[in-house]
Amino acid sequence: MFLQSHSIMTLLLLILSLFLKSSSCQLQCSKEILDDKEFSISMTDHTTAESGDCIWIPFNLTFPKNKVTPPYKKIWFKEDPQTNVDIQVVDNMKLESKNTFRINGLPRGEYEYGFKLEWGCNQTYIFPKRLRIYVSELTRKPIVRAYPMKEGQAATLTCRAYRLCSGRSKVHWKWTKADGQSTVQHDYDYDFHFHFQRGREISRFHLTPKADDHNTNITCVAEYNYSIVTERTVTLTVEFPPQILNGSQCVVEGKLLVCVCISRGNPLPPITWPFASLTEYSVISSSSIQTVNSTFTMPAADYLNSTVKCISSNGLGQAEIVIPIQNYTEKYGLDGSQRFDANLPWITAVSFSLNLILLTSLIICAYKRYKNMQKVPCDREENNTYASLKKADVQEEYTTISPKPK
């Protein structure tokens, strides 16, 4: 009986305490009257940073400790008090922590942050003070090392990208050939590796350059969070031995033999013409990007051998070719405007030969006549030859000769 009444009492007390608890909560939840003078935050009102930089904002708080009791929340919000970006809970166990607001990098732009306290049952105090952050573009570019390379020899390019507060970067390489063609090499499709060294990410790029890669622009692109991109471009220097180009040739121009030799190499490969015995000749050379153009001129009459040699060399090697001589009729025989001039030596030669034949036959005839007194065949031959020569004008003569050599 006594025991029963005791348990009923306990039950009643429990119900009462539950009721009291809920009613007290409802009391707390009604908005407290807060005095702005009791709250203050001391911090800078603006700061600047570069994209991706860590931002630390130290601050001191003043608030009524009797009203704001643990557990309470220290909250940073961005622009709008509903947009919380950093929440720190202070409870009895873990009291005051360091008062520093940390931002792990922001992209370029202008930002505004505010601070509020939350405690008890939905109690909030929003500090009127605001923090403005001006974020400028990232100026730290990756560092790319590219030493002069030699054609066909393995080389390595390195790119060190800064590690930003906002996180690691993803690096890729971009090639822009001298002709403007661009390709992107991602880590997964090219042989390059990453590792960290003193806070920087290092990407190595292995390649075996070709002569063609000279003057290629290679760009190391580092991409960070929030689309922060930074890059550095270097221009490759690839050394290669001389190579004589196809445009090299010799032509006979009037009384001159003109030979052109074009060679490409890096460093520039000077051209020499080994004609030690000649005294009368001239050489004109010009050069542009990695190409040397040398023109050698000599009197065609001095040209005795059937070959003209051109030699080009630089520190990496030597190239030499025997330049073929374009047939003189090939060049001028087909070109109408230059026909007459060009063929004058031919005509002279032909009429000289004909005269020679005539003279010879005259001598022979005279000799035969003198010896055998056989007149008739010789006289006819003589007249015919003369007739054809007399009739033939220089131009007409040419028309009969020109097509023959082809």
For 120-176, list the strands marked E by DSSP.
123-136, 143-145, 149-150, 155-162, 170-176
Q: What is the DSSP string of 230-252?
A: EEEEEE--EEEEEEE-TT-EEEE
How does strand 256-266 pair with strand 282-288?
A: unpaired
User: Shortest Cβ distance from residue 70 to ligand NAG (Å)?
Assistant: 19
For residue 286 the two structure tokens come to 């010009």
Question: What phi and psi values does residue 278 have, to the nearest 5 degrees?
Answer: -80, 145
Contact pick of 47, 88, 158, 176 for ligand NAG (by CB under 6 A): 176
| Residues of this chain, 14-43, that bind ligand NAG according to CB under 6 A | 29, 42-43
What is the CB-side half-sphere exposure of residue 372 using CA atoms within 13 A?
9
CA distances from 199 to 101, 160, 162, 187, 219 (A): 23, 10, 7, 20, 21
Contact between 149 and 239 (Cβ < 8 Å) = yes
User: Shortest Cβ distance from residue 58 to ligand NAG (Å)?
Assistant: 5
User: Shortest Cβ distance from residue 391 to ligand NAG (Å)?
Assistant: 28
Binding residues with ligand NAG: total (CB under 6 A): 35
* Burial status of residue 175 (CB atoms within 10 A of its CB: 0-12, 13-18, 19 or more): middle
Contact between 142 and 160 (Cβ < 8 Å) = yes
Question: Which CB sits closer to ligand NAG, 139 or 305?
Answer: 305
CA distance 257 to 274: 15
| Residues of this chain, 82-111, that bind ligand NAG according to CB under 6 A | 104-105
Site mask for ligand NAG (CB under 6 A), range 193-232, x = bound:
------------------------x-------x-------
Question: Which CB sits closer to ligand NAG, 304 or 376?
Answer: 304
Contact pick of 84, 293, 361, 402 for ligand NAG (by CB under 6 A): 293
Stretch of 71-79, 110-118, 239-247, 373-381 lying at the interface with ligand NAG (CB under 6 A): 239-247
Does residue 122 bind ligand NAG (CB under 6 A)? Answer: yes
Question: Which CB sits closer to ligand NAG, 286 or 360?
Answer: 286
Does residue 295 bind ligand NAG (CB under 6 A)? Answer: yes
Question: Which CB sits closer to ligand NAG, 242 or 378?
Answer: 242
Per CB under 6 A, residues contacting ligand NAG are 29, 42-43, 58-60, 104-105, 122, 166-167, 176, 178, 180, 217, 225, 233, 235, 245-247, 260, 262, 275, 277, 284, 286, 293, 295, 304-305, 324-325, 327, 405
